């Protein structure tokens, strides 16, 4: 028979069976659709000249430009708050409470770099970070005050309520300080202060008072039963002019001035007069009218225990801490009535979209005397998590609380999705979604390719390990194993910035170490490490371990002859690529019936290059599908078309 072109629709269809998805693609990894055809996605390079990695898992990222034109990326992790600027990281994590004094040091040559901090009735936990000031050393020691005051320290052990230990070793800074004399025994003096505790690296069920670190500022108290979910560390990040605004989930709101010294720490935004410091679920600064919104806020600004998950407060215009409404300001409050909690909020074109676990609301600036009009625009469309929503190209997109995907462009609508069961259910081999880890889902817009990505944890994972992508220009869907915990679009920076988490105990040889390479003395891999990548750069993964291949593939549904009445014999095929760099592997899979396990054609897989004109094969089966993939460094491809020489070859 003559050659015949096999045509495929854009997007992945996982709602149909492979044999019912003729003319469609059914599986993929690390590919995207552009102009109706699939191509391998772009590569990513690790940022920072020293290849630094941050402690903990990143849960929020926000890029902005200061008034003098300096570019920043703020990253909130489970261990702290950091700034990336000028090819390096800066630690701006707020400190908790007031400095503690009255302590002493114990060191010895035998203990080497390990120092015991004697502090009566301390509240320090293993894994806390602490800083020292006003240090004075005494006794027979080779240590000096700068040994303790230059860097922060991770607390290694807590022997009792009156002591904890640190290490002076700091590989990232090249510090190998150790006690060289007999040392100090409960001598010296200092002040110390610990970092705030953002929260756990995982979202888990609570099992009693000792679960994880009870009493952390950001997430409250563990209960005595397992039906309570402990929220992971989470941040809301935004900016107003030069000021970065950072809110810990169910915690305080902090500010950092980008016009000052980059290593200056963020500080809590204090209440005014008799008001306490704000406690809320999340925050957002409204660009158009310049009000700071607090969602899940305090109903009584003099009582920090009055947090209401459905209550909204917004400040007086052009302020960050004036919340109490008066006749002469534009501060205000509002309580939503549909749902149990506010889950997310995002800045739209000229509105703020507020999502509860059940409904959608629009807040729009109308001026005095009411300041904002807040109206309900949708029901049964709740959002699944704080970062599971993103504004892109005039519309807001989010992942639904009970499954499915939604968009708001003036009207709330559910988006038809051909990978919906694959994402939200675990039947038929689907990896599904871990609904109990909903708060770590992260949505990101890639305007370079008109894509909205949702990075999510699969059913049996406590961390992000999958991605589902909606191309709103192509109206197509695809899935992948790209695992990014945060993702911000190209705008401030030339390309998208995204974070990858390396968990404690990771054995991935293509990723940096699970011990953060960040100048905190004695730092361990207890909470893992975060890598910051610049995406859509090159075709490979490039980081401190070297260059590794991004192995992209796409596989079609089955095609047949005469609706499967005859077996098909494929004698040759002509591959056609719009672009191909390096090799591409093409595999023809064949089977007699839909329930059979498909096997590769006898001569395959076939290696295709830019000079390949045709491939001879001996493939015979009732059903045939095709897979395109790359496996090596430096390879990239964009599909064009496929022509097969196929003829009927009997009925059995």
- Distance CA(631)–CA(480), nearest Å, equals 16
- Both tokens of residue 290? 């310049």
- For residue 421, the surrounding DSSP H or E stretch is helix 420-424
Would you call 9 exposed, middle or buried from its count of C-beta atoms within 10 A (0-12, 13-18, 19+)? middle
Give the mean model confidence (pLDDT) for residues 408-431: 94
Other beta carbons less than 10 A from residue 537's beta carbon: 15
196 Cβ neighbours under 8 A, 6+ residues apart? 80, 93, 94, 95, 96, 217, 218, 248, 251
Give the mean model confidence (pLDDT) for residues 73-101: 97
Domain ranges, ordered by start, for the chain = 3-41+551-648, 104-194
- pLDDT per residue as tens digits for the range 554-576: 999 988 765 666 777 788 889 99
- For residue 118, the surrounding DSSP H or E stretch is strand 114-118
Q: Are 520 and 195 spatial neighbours (Cβ–Cβ below 8 Å)?
A: no
- Distance CA(583)–CA(601), nearest Å, equals 19
Query: What is the average pLDDT score of the chain?
Result: 92
Instruction: Find the range with the poorest average confidence among 40-54, 107-121, 592-606, 631-645.
Output: 592-606
Alpha helices in 16-136 (DSSP H): none
Question: How far is Cα of residue 337 from the mean position of the Cα atoms in its chain?
Answer: 30
Fold of 104-194: Elongation Factor Tu (Ef-tu); domain 3 (2.40.30)
Give the model's pLDDT for residue 205: 65
Give the model's pLDDT for residue 210: 39
Cis peptide before 90 (omega within 30 of 0): no
- pLDDT per residue as tens digits for the range 214-266: 333 443 333 344 456 678 999 999 999 999 999 999 999 999 999 999 999 99
pLDDT beyond 60 at 5: yes
- Distance CA(209)–CA(212), nearest Å, equals 9
Give the model's pLDDT for residue 303: 96
- Both tokens of residue 529? 């490490």
Give the model's pLDDT for residue 182: 96
- The proportion of the chain whose per-residue pLDDT surpasses 90, expressed as a percent, equals 82
- pLDDT per residue as tens digits for the range 482-525: 999 999 999 999 999 999 999 999 999 999 999 999 999 999 99
- Both tokens of residue 149? 């005051």
Instruction: Find the range with the poorest average confidence among 153-157, 204-208, 330-334, 359-363.
Output: 204-208
Q: Which CATH number fits domain 3-41+551-648: 2.60.120, 2.60.40, 1.10.3470, 1.10.10?
A: 2.60.120
pLDDT classification of 617: cutoffs 50, 70, 90: confident
pLDDT beyond 80 at 598: no
Give the mean model confidence (pLDDT) for residues 413-435: 94
pLDDT beyond 50 at 342: yes
- Nearest Cα residue to 526 out of 58, 79, 172, 222: 79
Question: Has this prediction a pTM greater than 0.85?
Answer: yes
């Amino acid at each position: 028979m003559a050659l015949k072109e096999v045509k495929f629709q854009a997007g992945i269809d996982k709602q149909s069976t492979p044999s019912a998805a003729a003319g469609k693609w059914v599986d993929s990894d690390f590919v995207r659709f552009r102009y109706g055809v699939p191509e391998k996605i772009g590569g990513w390079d690790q940022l920072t000249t020293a290849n630094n990695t941050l402690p903990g898992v990143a849960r929020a990222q926000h890029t902005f430009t200061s008034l003098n034109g300096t570019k920043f990326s703020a990253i909130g992790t489970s261990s702290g708050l950091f700034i990336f600027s000028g090819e390096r990281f800066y630690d701006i994590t707020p400190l908790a409470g007031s400095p503690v004094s009255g302590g002493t040091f114990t060191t010895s040559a035998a203990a080497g770099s390990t120092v015991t901090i004697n502090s009566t009735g301390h509240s320090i936990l293993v894994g806390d970070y602490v800083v020292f000031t006003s240090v004075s050393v005494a006794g027979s020691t080779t240590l000096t005050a700068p040994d303790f005051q230059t860097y922060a320290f991770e607390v290694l052990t807590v022997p009792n309520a009156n002591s904890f230990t640190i290490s002076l070793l700091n590989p990232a800074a090249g510090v190998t300080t150790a006690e060289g004399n007999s040392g100090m025994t409960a001598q010296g003096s200092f002040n110390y202060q610990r970092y705030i505790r953002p929260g756990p690296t995982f979202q888990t069920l609570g099992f009693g008072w000792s679960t994880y670190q009870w009493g952390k500022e950001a997430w409250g108290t563990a209960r005595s039963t397992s039906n309570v979910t402990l929220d992971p560390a989470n941040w809301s990040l935004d900016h107003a002019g030069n000021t970065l605004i950072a809110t810990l989930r169910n915690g305080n709101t902090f500010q950092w001035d980008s016009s000052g010294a980059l290593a200056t720490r963020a500080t809590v935004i204090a209440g005014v007069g008799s008001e306490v410091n704000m406690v809320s679920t999340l925050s957002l600064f409204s660009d158009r009218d310049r009000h700071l919104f607090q969602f899940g806020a305090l109903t009584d600004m003099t009582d920090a225990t009055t947090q209401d998950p459905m209550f909204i407060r917004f400040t007086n215009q052009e302020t960050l801490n004036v919340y109490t409404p008066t006749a002469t300001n534009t501060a205000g409050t509002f309580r939503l009535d549909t749902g149990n909690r506010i889950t997310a909020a995002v800045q739209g074109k000229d509105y703020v979209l507020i999502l509860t676990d059940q409904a959608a609301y629009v807040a729009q600036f109308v001026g005095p005397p009411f300041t904002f009009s807040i109206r309900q625009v949708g029901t049964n469309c709740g959002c699944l998590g704080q970062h599971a929503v993103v504004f892109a190209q005039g519309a807001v997109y989010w992942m639904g609380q009970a499954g499915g995907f939604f968009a708001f462009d003036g009207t709330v609508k559910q988006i038809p999705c051909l990978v919906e069961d694959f994402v939200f259910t675990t039947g038929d081999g689907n990896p599904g979604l871990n609904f109990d880890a909903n708060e770590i889902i992260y949505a990101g817009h890639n305007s370079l390719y008109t894509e909205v990505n949702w990075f999510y944890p699969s059913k049996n994972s406590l961390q992000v390990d999958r991605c589902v992508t909606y191309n709103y220009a192509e109206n197509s869907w695809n899935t992948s194993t790209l695992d990014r915990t945060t993702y911000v679009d190209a705008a401030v920076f030339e390309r998208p910035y995204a974070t990858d988490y390396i968990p404690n105990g990771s054995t991935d040889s293509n990723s940096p170490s699970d011990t953060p390479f960040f100048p905190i003395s004695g730092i361990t891999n207890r909470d893992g490490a975060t890598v910051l990548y610049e995406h859509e750069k090159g075709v490979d993964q490039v980081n401190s371990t070297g260059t590794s291949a991004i192995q992209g593939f796409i596989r079609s549904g089955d095609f047949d002859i005469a609706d499967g009445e005859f077996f098909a014999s494929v004698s040759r095929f002509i591959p056609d690529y719009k672009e191909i760099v390096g090799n591409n592997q093409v595999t023809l899979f064949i089977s007699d019936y839909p329930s059979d396990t498909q096997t590769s054609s006898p001569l395959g897989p076939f290696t295709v290059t830019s000079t390949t004109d045709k491939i001879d094969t001996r493939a015979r089966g009732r059903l045939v599908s095709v897979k395109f993939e790359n496996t090596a460094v430096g390879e990239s491809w964009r599909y064009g078309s496929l022509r097969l020489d196929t003829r009927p070859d009997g009925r059995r």
